[in-house]
Amino acid sequence: MASLFPIKAQSEPVQPSEIAQIRNKIDKSFKEFAELISAVRRPLPNQTGDGTYLPTKDDPPDVLQKINAGLKDLSSLGITDIATLLQVQEKQKTGALWDDKKYLMERLIQTAARFPDGSATGKKVTDGFLESLYNDLKHPPQSYLGKEYQYRSADGSNNSLVHPNVGKAGQPYARTVAPKQMQPGALPAPEDIFDSVMTRTHHEPHPNKISSMLFYLASIIIHDVFLTDRKDFSYSLTSSYLDLSPLYGKDLPDQLAMRTMKDGKIKADCFSESRLLNFPPGVGAILIMYNRFHNSVVDTLARINQNGQFTPPSTAYPSVKTDDPKFDPKWKTYDENLFQVGRLITCGLYINHILLDYVRTILNLNKTNYDWALDPRANIPSVPVGAGNQVSAEFNLVYRWHSAISDRDEKWTWDLWKSQFPELGDPETADWHDFVKAAAVKEDEANAMDPQDRPFGGFKRGPDGKFTDDDLVNLLCDSIEDVANSFGANRVPPVMRVVEILGMKQARAWNVASLNEFRVYFGLEPHKTFESINSDPYVAEQLKHLYDHPDYVELYPGLVTEESKIPMVPGAGLTPSYTVSRAVLSDAVALVRGDRFYTIDYHPKKLTNWGYSEAASDVTIDNGAVFYKLFLNAFPHHFKPNSVYIHYPLTIPSEMQKVLTNLERGPNYSYDRPKRLPSTKVISSYATVKAILTNTEAFKVSVSDSMAYLLGDSAKAYMVSEDGAKSAASRKMMEEAIYLDGKWESEVRQFYEVTTEKLLKEKSYKIAKKNQVDIIRDIGNLAHVHFAAEMWALPLKTTERPLGVFTEHEMYLIMAGMFTAVFFDPDPVNSYPLHQKTKKATKLLGDLVEANVTEIHAGGVFSRIIDAVFPHPSPLKDYGVNLIKRLLKSGMDVKQLVWGHILGTVGAMTANQGQLFAQTLEYYLTTGSEHLPAINALAKDDSDAAFEKLMRYVMEGARLAGESGVYRQSTKACEVTDGKRTVKLAAGDKILLNLFAASRDSAVFPNPDKVDLKRPLESYITLGIGSQQFLGDGVTRVALTAMFKVIGKLNKLRPTLGDQGKIYKVDAPYPEEGGQPVGPWYHNYLTESHDRLWPFPQSMKVNWD
């Protein structure tokens, strides 16, 4: 692996410009991880409260060239402030924002006032100013407050506030193209058209190896916006918006039939649109994933309860039915709000699937490293948004893609015909009148059933109403592996004959324009010959005899038989007919940009901060594709987070393996067919936890793969990456190097006391007359970052070290990412993004550390980097360099030492210590606040005895509140006793040892919920046991106690008033299928923006006197 920073050992000092070059190299890559980096010469951030930089944006260049030359003669009129008018015109032409601190508006008023009465130029200036002021506000308004407009209506009404019925279910189809071309009085029979140029005679796999899954998603999209009324073909019974009506229902009665009316949830593993039961079951499986996503979302919304938006009523849930007059309306409101916001979030993910997975595949962007996307939501001031949409009859025909039905799905459809319509006989000769009657009966029967009672795919539901994950995953994997057929003439399966005949008759009833008229409308040249429509001599000849002239070819037969495009990367991925490929993009833009809930009203205030982020995409992951979120949410126990099946399900896996390999991204993904992953079992009793931790033969450490992914194969020998001789040797080497100096304890204590005091002085401030600081973000997390930087000579940017590379918060993010990705990664959905971003950031840090160690190894007292970054002595500067030298004496090469040992240690002993500090402090500021006076007194006592007693308080607080845990893997089948239950383990099962619960086991800790300073220190297992303790166990005890000694001195320490004085957290999901937590369980913590869930506490502000 080539070093990002190939700095050779040399004697001359590092110049600031060289450090700046290093920083600039880092800039682009690290933005993907933390979005915080700037040039090394940039001053330390001091304009924000959280230690990050404020973004800056330069004015657009060369704007003066855009200014109207007519202003040049103003000086002759006595108007001297021409610069004001130039600046105003610049802002208006470029759309640049005004800096109102420069009083530009006031200067404009002064300038306008100086023009003489009747001046034409003065009138233009005044008129322009008035126009600008008027246009500042929308006329009429595009977004309203009020319950009626807050959420999507069930039938699509009120989406457009100007035209509330546009796009509403039950409205007539629009017409896109006027049919001005006179057609022959007698058109060919649809039966003849199908039998000659449509029926399948070619079985050709799709040229881009698109899977059937793309067409399953297309089927959902089509049925989302098209539902022709059987009684009147002119009307569509569903809305013209992509609002997931196939899942939720086309109108209020359908929607109510889908809902449980409790906690915002919908009925499990079902969907509203009965027509899709007659499609290959992969279509329904996708809808079931959206169903599960919705129910998961409303669960999380309720747990987060942002700003009290989803606070349940204080009364007990009513025992009567929801339609009973006695049912408490507050519970109805609670359910309604959760359901509606959950629907907005689910639709937000759905639209991103369409734009960033589906459309990218259609354009073959999935086979590139480009981040570009055709996103209609772009900010284009001149193009209206949220204006509404009404689907047209023509596009009902554009989206009939039966040619692409795979061979497998063709067989499935034949079997469906035989089981559903045996009385109709052969589908190739069946009468369409009989089919319409029989299909209507079947549809009415399905619609009369509760959605959860309708049979689906031959699968059986469990007691919870769900299908088994194994069945659904197997179905989806088969569908992802199933290559679709190609587009073009003579490719529609014969079993679809009556459906296509009905389509042609429907198109004639709509009187749609011809193929050539449709093409001209979209700016395409009309076909002048039949060979232009399709170069296949047979097809061209058949069309000639059917229609006589290219201008007479009807729209629908023309779209089906027109020649298909050839693949182009990027550009042509779907490769349908030429006309379809053009028209479908226009419709996609109209559907999304015209939807108020995807444009004007798509923001965190509608979806909540967390919901907005949950549906969002990230171009650093799969170039923005987001399908993996849906799969991992629905099936967390089957798909590896990096499975190509879920990251690129719209193209068959074998094709994507070739593509990703060519793009040099192949190793980032797994190409194995998914299957049920080893079960996760949770162990909570102290005795069993201890037994498992000490039995390294039966229960092995299972983080070596994650370590190797982040740090390379060198990390597999890291002391806690696996069990065995190599890891034991690693531990011994690191312990001897770190603890060789008997003074380590006093040095660590001194460092943490000095650093905590220094951070407290730097980061605290006055709010009115109160002292205040963010004790977690700015003290607890950062103290450990400073320690790691000093200990391992990391290039941290501080006031004393302005040439450092990483700011405090950047370094913390890297270390937190490393720990989570390797040691405690329980969130499948966010696992892959976490690993990808952490790997990039760790590579940046590791290359710098390697360059540093290389120079120390070459014989320098200090490396050039350290001399530049650490110009002044520090308590641990000598310690850190000598530590590296002691490790080098082992004979280990530099790369092995850095990537196999140093970085692993940095990641294993930083963020988790910050977490433990935060959890312990929170306990003593809340539940254990009665102990604060004693802690305050001990903190002010400088005796060794007081320090030892204070350590007891710290260890008890950590025992009661420290949410630590470790994973092990069973090497063989066995049974273990966990409290009162017996747990069966299979070989390969993952075991989560709940140290949090074990630390409250009353068998070991009498009165487990009380602080007891007499407990033996060796009984604490918060940091592990024996050979599998984190290396920094001794360091951690001293460090946390030293920090408490500084913080504990603060008089009347207390959380600040209001929301900022709280740590926001929610119960973490329980990983054991069908199980429930035994004893205390873990939390996930909200970021400061409340937009993400994270393993570590992020913020809590405190005051003191």
Give the tens place of pLDDT for each residue, 514-527: 999 999 999 999 99
Q: Is the peptide bond before 140 cis (omega within 30 degrees of 0)?
A: yes
What lies within 8 Å, CB to CB, of 170 at 6+ separation is 155, 235, 236, 237, 251
How far apart (Å, rounded) are the C-alpha atoms in residues 781 and 913? 8
Active site residue 953: no
Residue 435 to residue 297: CA distance in whole angstroms: 41
Is 402 known to sit in a ligand binding site?
yes
- The domain locations on the chain are 63-135, 171-598, 616-668, 680-1062+1081-1104
Which residues does residue 806 pair with via DSSP β-bridges, in sequence order?
796
Residue 333 has a CB neighbour count (10 Å cut-off) of 12
- 8 Å CB contact between 251 and 155: yes
Those residues of the chain that have pLDDT short of 50 are 1-16, 28-44, 56-79, 719-721, 861-862, 1027-1028, 1030
Q: Report the distance separating Cα 154 and Cα 979, nearest Å.
A: 50
Burial code of 198-222, b = ≥16 C-beta within 10 A, e = fewer?
Answer: bbbeeeeebebbbbbbbbbbbbbbb
Instruction: Give me the amino acid identity at 827.
Output: D
The predicted structure's pLDDT at residue 216:
99
Q: Which two tokens stand for residue 883?
A: 């530590």
The residues facing 991 across adjacent strands are 681, 968
Give, in words, the CATH class of 171-598: mainly alpha
Max Cα separation, the chain? Answer: 107
Note the pLDDT tens digit of each residue in 69-91.
Answer: 334 444 434 445 666 666 666 66
Q: Helices marked H in 962-1085 — which ranges?
A: 995-998, 1033-1048
Q: Within 10 Å of residue 696's Cβ, how many Cβ atoms? A: 19
**What pLDDT is attached to residue 159?**
95
Which residues are CB-contacts of 157 (< 8 A; sequence separation ≥ 6)? 164, 165, 168, 169
pLDDT, residue 483, reads: 99
SS3 930: helix
Q: What is the pLDDT of residue 105?
A: 81
- 3-state DSSP of 190-232: HHHHHHHHHECCCCCECCCCEEHHHHHHHHHHHHHHCCECCCC
User: For residue 519, which phi and psi values (nearest 5 degrees)?
Assistant: -65, -45
Catalytic residue selected from 53, 290, 399, 552: 399
Six-digit token pair at 395? 């596009």
- Does 680-1062+1081-1104 carry CATH code 1.10.630.10? yes
Tokens encoding 516: 């050539």
d(CA 299, CA 610): 12
Helices (H) and strands (E) in the chain, counts: 43, 15
Give rounded-to-5 percent helix, strand, coil for the chain.
50, 5, 40
